[in-house]
A and B are shown apart, each in its own frame.
Chain A
Amino acid sequence: MPEINLSAIPGSVVLRAQEDPDFALQLLNADSREDALSGLGLSDEQLRELRPILDEVAQMSFQDAIQQLRDQVGVSMK
């Protein structure tokens, strides 16, 4: 699994996510992401850079999530 450049995520976003898991979850869902980002005072350029990184983090997280389910299977034909 390739590493994501998490350091490109603004510190204010990381700090908020560390303190508030609900905020992190808002970032995950496309319906709530823009609202979550709007109050952080980020510039348009920062927001433009941030969106694809968040998508990448979400995609990697999904691979983690699916692997977790795979690990629960016992005797399998694969």
Chain B
Amino acid sequence: MIDRQEIKILVDRHLAEARKAMLPRVRKAFDSLLQERRLLQPDPAPYFAALGHPLFELPVWVAGRLNDEGVQTPVETLADVLGISALGYLHARAQDDWLDGASREDPTPIALAESLLALCNRLLVSVVGSSSRFWGFYCEVLNDYAESLLHTDELRRRKAPVSRSTFEQLLAQSKPLMIPSAAVLDRADRWELCPHLEEFVFSATAAAQLYNDLTDIYTDRQMGQRTWTIEAIGDSEADQLWIEVAGISEGREGGRIQERVREALLFHQRSAQAAQTLGLSAAEDWLADRRAALEDLPRSLHANLRSAFVRRIAGPAAGQGG
């Protein structure tokens, strides 16, 4: 199985090739997106963070599992699959940037998304050929994704509260994350594993999304975006969260933050179960790292708050009065 260093090399190769295939204006937008997402840069950390989606490792884990039962995925095929992961992910982010944009007057993110989808599909053909099973699945996934985009937009416009069930419905937007690994399964004729892959992607993304919604709570409120986390914590109570975190100590947990972490851990547990059913033994370290990071969130937040407070209170701008 290829390691993280090799994965990054293969991903970067595809990003560089995609960049070369683009025309100047789209390329410029692509460069901004890459910079924003910290891809095609020397630091490997953003590619493999435990709290991010295992975008580049998941297809490698799936290929490793198939390899264990004697079905090999050539490195060149795996390289194309990693390209699909990278370009497909950036396609969705470009669309999201347009949806999040204040005016939506600038069509550049949509032009970039079109270009990325075309490049991604070219790679998909090289992996699955004309498999009607795969392309039927692909159409279904992208239709669910499209519907979910409209649902998100509608909720944002109405500023409607987001319940747990709405949160779960909106996760249909994560379904395209299945595509690269589904292509590996299709090629190996192990399609019956797809439902477990879907469960893994759903629950792993839900856990990560809850973490993101918690750490984005102030940004989301500022932008007027509703999330299940904001509903659960309470809009006005969000300003008082620091009191709970400041009081975290041995035997004293973080109240509402701890409650959100518990929800994320439940989804994480589901994803670990799905990984086990799928036979993704190579995912074990990642799952353990993610679990530790989630469990540690209240303590990390407490430590960060302490150092930020000391920095602010004793900062160079202070001390002029009294």
> CA of A69 to CA of B210 in the docked complex: distance in angstroms?
13
> CA of A35 to CA of B317 in the docked complex: distance in angstroms?
25
B241 contacts A by Cβ under 8 Å: yes
CB of B5, distance to nearest CB on chain A (Å): 16
B138 contacts A by Cβ under 8 Å: no
Q: Given A10-B322, A62-B305, A66-B215, verify A17-B313 contact (CB < 8 Å).
A: yes
Classify chain B's interface size. Answer: 35 or more
CB of B182, distance to nearest CB on chain A (Å): 18
B212 touches A70 (CB 8 A): yes
> CA of A10 to CA of B184 in the docked complex: distance in angstroms?
65
B positions within 8 Å CB-CB of A: 37-38, 45-49, 51-53, 55-56, 89, 92, 96, 173-174, 205, 208-209, 211-218, 239, 241-243, 245-247, 297, 300-301, 304-315, 317-322
- The prevalent SS among residues of B at the interface is helix
A11 touches B322 (CB 8 A): yes
Classify chain A's interface size. Answer: 35 or more
A21 touches B52 (CB 8 A): no
Q: Given A11-B322, A62-B241, A62-B242, verify A70-B306 contact (CB < 8 Å).
A: no
Chain B residues whose CB sits within 8 angstroms of the CB of A78 once the complex forms: 96, 209, 212-213, 216
> CA of A77 to CA of B318 in the docked complex: distance in angstroms?
38
CB of A24, distance to nearest CB on chain B (Å): 4
Residue of B nearest to A57 (CB): B312
Chain A residues whose CB sits within 8 angstroms of the CB of B322 once the complex forms: 9-13, 46
> CA of A60 to CA of B205 in the docked complex: distance in angstroms?
29
Chain A residues whose CB sits within 8 angstroms of the CB of B320 once the complex forms: 6-7, 11
Chain B residues whose CB sits within 8 angstroms of the CB of A60 once the complex forms: 312
CB<8 Å pairs between A and B, sample of 24: A7-B320, A12-B322, A14-B318, A17-B314, A21-B310, A28-B306, A30-B243, A58-B242, A61-B242, A61-B305, A61-B311, A62-B245, A62-B305, A65-B304, A66-B215, A66-B301, A68-B308, A69-B300, A69-B304, A70-B216, A74-B51, A76-B212, A77-B208, A78-B213
Residue of A nearest to B225 (CB): A78
